[in-house]
């Protein structure tokens, strides 16, 4: 997966570019390729057309010349008609070369050094043969045609070789090619112009969206107007959703800051009042009770500040979603070890019931550890030892189903009434007998669970107190390790 991501990053352009320019450039390159392909076809058509036209002249002239070859006085008599040369005068700048061979292959008239052979196959007696050769430093198109003489004194085949230079046909080929290419280039230019206009029209909704966003305040709640363009509607819908999420997150941050400020100011005001009472005392000896109250207020302020920082950290890291594969059993062992060390001076007993199967999730190690520590701290503060003389017990258990891992922390304290449990998950909410807490512990735990696409539930525990359960989706990647108790 990492190799694929690296490859995709290489494909991304490192510099900014114009979408309009890129579309026009690629369209122009495509049309140039089409023009090149069509040019080859037009060139072939122009050649074929010119050859067809002037080959007909050669064929007519050769037939006329063969009509002038007869047998007279027991020998071949040649009387070339003037009309044959008039036919070839349709190409006045071209030269004519011919040769006539008798029945035995004897040269009779014309040019004896023509580069085309007078011999022929049986098929060529029915159809003439065309060949292109270089003769006297010129390209010459030849035709070879045969006539059978059946007189008693002279019997056999007479062959005429007739050639014409290719100036006229080359000129016709060039005229046809240039005319066709000019037409194609004009059509391509018009197509590019139409494409440029179409691209500008297609990209105009982006300019409209940009103008709408520039003219609006980031704090404005009004959404972008709906559009009837099917391709643009998802973009405006996504922008509106993003703005709503942004405004919702901003509102939540405002509420959080306001609540946090209120809680901190309240704790500071209480501490300040205690200090003022101590300073206003006329006794030289400060009352230990006042010092104890100041110490407790300071401890509450310190805990509140720490929890606010933890909550902000969880929200920030949860938004980044930089998860890795975590072994929940290993993580819990570390958290429990720290908890046992921190509360070694108390009468609280910790129990851990691991799962028989290995539980692997995709998560943030720091976020989950902070959430678990807050839940354990809550269980210590609000458990049995804080409300009675009973021995405090905190049980941590780990289970799994096919796709969900369950991490539960319960205590033997008084718990939270069912009707108040939903409110207990809100920030700074104090329920039950919790009059001195910050109201952030369970809110932090719920934020961590939601950041991992899970949920947090509160229920009655087997120990008689509150049970806090994290339900976290398991990693879908295979894991072959297992844990045995």
pLDDT tens for the 485 residues of the chain, in order? 455 555 555 555 567 778 888 888 898 999 999 999 999 999 999 999 999 989 998 989 988 888 888 877 777 788 888 888 888 888 888 999 999 988 878 888 889 899 988 876 666 667 888 999 999 999 999 999 888 887 777 777 888 999 999 999 999 999 999 999 999 999 999 999 999 999 888 888 888 888 887 887 777 777 888 878 888 888 888 888 888 887 777 777 777 677 666 667 777 777 777 777 777 766 666 667 767 777 777 777 776 777 777 767 777 676 667 788 889 999 999 999 998 998 888 888 999 998 888 889 888 888 888 889 888 988 888 776 555 566 788 999 999 888 899 999 998 888 888 888 888 887 777 776 555 556 777 888 888 888 888 999 999 988 888 899 999 999 876 544 443 33
* Domains within the chain, CATH numbers bracketed: 15-210 (3.30.450), 216-320 (1.10.287), 321-485 (3.30.565.10)
pTM for the predicted model, two decimal places: 0.49
pLDDT score of 447: 85
Phi/psi class of residue 44: alpha, beta or left (left: φ > 0; alpha: ψ in -120 to 50)? Answer: alpha
pLDDT score of 263: 67
The 3-state DSSP class for residue 398 equals strand
CB neighbours (10 Å) of residue 101?
23
pLDDT score of 479: 47
Query: Do residues 297 and 267 make contact, with C-beta atoms less than 8 angstroms apart?
Result: yes
| Torsions phi, psi for 157 (to 5 deg) | -105, 135
The single residue listed with the structure tokens 């901190």 is: 264
The single residue listed with the structure tokens 């002279």 is: 154
Tell me the C-alpha distance between 379 and 227, whole Å: 54
CB neighbours (10 Å) of residue 437?
22
pLDDT score of 12: 57
Can you list the positions of beta strands (E) in 151-246?
155-165
pLDDT score of 481: 41
pLDDT score of 46: 92
Query: Do residues 394 and 376 make contact, with C-beta atoms less than 8 angstroms apart?
Result: yes
Tell me the C-alpha distance between 451 and 321, whole Å: 8
pLDDT score of 435: 52
């Amino acid at each position: 997966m990492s190799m694929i991501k690296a490859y995709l990053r290489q494909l991304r352009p490192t510099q900014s570019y114009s979408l309009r320019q890129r579309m026009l450039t690629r369209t122009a390159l495509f049309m140039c390729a089409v023009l090149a392909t069509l040019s080859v076809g037009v060139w072939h058509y122009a050649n074929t057309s010119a050859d067809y036209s002037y080959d007909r002249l050669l064929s007519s002239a050769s037939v006329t010349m063969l009509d002038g070859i007869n047998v007279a006085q027991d020998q071949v008599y040649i009387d070339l008609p003037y009309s044959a040369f008039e036919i070839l005068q349709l190409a006045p700048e071209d030269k004519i070369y011919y040769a006539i061979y008798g029945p035995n292959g004897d040269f009779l008239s014309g040019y004896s050094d023509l580069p085309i052979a007078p011999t022929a196959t049986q098929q060529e007696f029915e159809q003439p043969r065309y060949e292109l050769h270089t003769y006297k430093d010129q390209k010459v198109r030849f035709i070879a045609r045969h006539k059978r003489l059946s007189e008693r004194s002279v019997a056999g085949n007479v062959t005429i070789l007739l050639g014409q230079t290719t100036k006229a046909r080359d000129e016709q080929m060039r005229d046809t090619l240039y005319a066709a290419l000019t037409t194609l280039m004009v059509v391509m230019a018009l197509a590019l112009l139409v494409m440029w206009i179409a691209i500008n029209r297609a990209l105009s909704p982006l300019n409209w969206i940009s103008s709408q966003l520039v003219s609006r305040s980031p704090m404005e709640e009004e959404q972008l107007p709906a559009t009837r363009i099917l391709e643009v509607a998802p973009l405006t819908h996504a922008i509106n959703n993003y703005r709503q999420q942004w405004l919702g997150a901003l509102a939540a941050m405002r509420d959080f800051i306001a609540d946090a400020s209120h809680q901190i100011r309240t704790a500071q005001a209480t501490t300040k009042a205690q200090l003022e009472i101590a300073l206003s005392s006329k006794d030289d000896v400060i009352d230990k009770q006042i010092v104890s109250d100041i110490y407790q207020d300071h401890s509450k302020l310190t805990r509140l500040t720490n929890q606010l920082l933890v909550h902000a950290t969880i929200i920030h890291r949860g938004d980044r979603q930089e998860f890795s594969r975590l072994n929940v059993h290993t993580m819990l062992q570390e958290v429990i070890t720290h908890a046992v060390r921190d509360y070694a001076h108390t009468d609280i007993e910790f129990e851990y019931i691991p799962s028989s199967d290995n539980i692997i999730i995709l998560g943030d190690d720091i976020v989950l550890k902070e959430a678990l520590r807050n839940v354990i701290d809550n269980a210590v503060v609000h458990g049995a030892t804080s409300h009675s003389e009973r021995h405090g017990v905190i049980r941590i258990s780990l289970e799994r189903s096919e796709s969900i891992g369950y991490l539960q922390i319960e205590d033997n304290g008084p718990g939270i009434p069912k009707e108040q449990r939903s409110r207990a998950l809100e920030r700074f909410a104090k329920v039950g007998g919790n009059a001195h807490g910050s109201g952030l512990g369970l809110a932090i735990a719920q934020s961590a669970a939601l950041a991992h696409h899970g949920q947090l539930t509160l229920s009655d525990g087997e120990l008689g107190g509150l049970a806090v359960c994290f339900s976290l989706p398991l990693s879908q990647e295979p894991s072959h390790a297992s844990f045995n108790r």
